[in-house]
Amino acid sequence: MTNKKEIIASIIIIGNEVLSGRTKDLNTSAISMWLNSIGISVQEVRVIPDIEKIIIATVNELRKKFDYVFTTGGIGPTHDDITAISISKAFNLKYDFHKEAFSILENYYEPGKFNEGRQKMAKMPTTANLILNPSSGAPGFYVENVFCLPGVPSILKSMLGGLNNVLIGGDPILSKTINLRTYESEIAESLTNVQNNNQDVEIGSYPFFRQGKLGVSIVLRSVDKNKIDNCNLQILEFVKAKNIKLVEID
């Protein structure tokens, strides 16, 4: 899409609760939007169960294919939190108390409250780098290009900013959305023409239903603002010619 090397990432959501349908994944959206803003594009997401050999195999497959891999979930104190030990095994690193993590957690809790369960959260590859957690103490960590974050969306979000200076991104990926009161089939042919004339802009078309009304959101994505603007003009041209109404949605 650009002359610069595209920096690509994948996300591994570790959690039976997403596979069972109990929990809707909100972390993909948070991580992807943040990565877009620093010029990294998410190309694959996998949701996998809390099973050690599957975590190890998935991490080892994806860390070779992508510049960055982010995992979410499984770094808490309970028996089903097995991300840290799985990552240790994936990288063949010693799994034990991480000195800095231990000391952060020891200071975080009141005297006498740093029990065995909480101490488990300081166990990880002993040579990992920490990802500080401004919300609830327990740090995430990274090894090479694999970044391990918690599963609770509010805590995860609070930790992303701390990685801005660690990741090397490209140009921010910009986007523009045009919302139309129409059907996809009414604009399909014109939109294909615009896409053919603008290969450097990714054009997505998404039907929506809001407040009982149908419409289509057209989303333009590129690292080049001029190319997005050009593409936008070409779309507004056929929208006007077809007498289609532009609408505002959130």
Residues that bind a second copy (CB under 8 A): 13, 16-26, 28-33, 36, 41-50, 76-80, 115-118, 120-121, 151-152, 154, 173, 175, 177, 184-189, 191-192, 195, 202-207, 209, 219, 221
Q: Report in angstroms how near the CB of residue 10 gets to a second copy at its nearest.
A: 9
181: left (phi over 0), alpha (psi -120 to 50) or beta: beta
Distance CA 19, CA 13 (A): 10
Nearer to a second copy, 33 or 132 (CB): 33
Nearer to a second copy, 42 or 143 (CB): 42
- Closest to a second copy by CB, 8 or 130: 8
**Nearest Cα to Cα of residue 146 among 203, 216, 93, 221:** 93
Instruction: For the CB of residue 139, give the shortest distance to a second copy in the complex, in Å.
Output: 15
Q: What is the CA radius of gyration of the chain?
A: 22
Residue 64 identity (one-letter amino acid): K
- Residue 233 makes CB contacts below 8 A (sequence gap 6+) with none
Nearest to 102 by CA among 120, 86, 89, 125: 120
Closest to a second copy by CB, 143 vs 230, is 230
Least Å distance, CB 55 to a second copy, is 12
Q: Which is nearer to a second copy, 41 or 83 (CB)?
A: 41
- Minimum distance, C-beta of residue 51 to a second copy, in the bound complex (Å): 9
Q: Shortest Cβ distance from residue 11 to a second copy (Å)?
A: 8
Our CA angle for 93, 117, 15, nearest 5°, is 65
Name 141's bridge partners: 130, 148
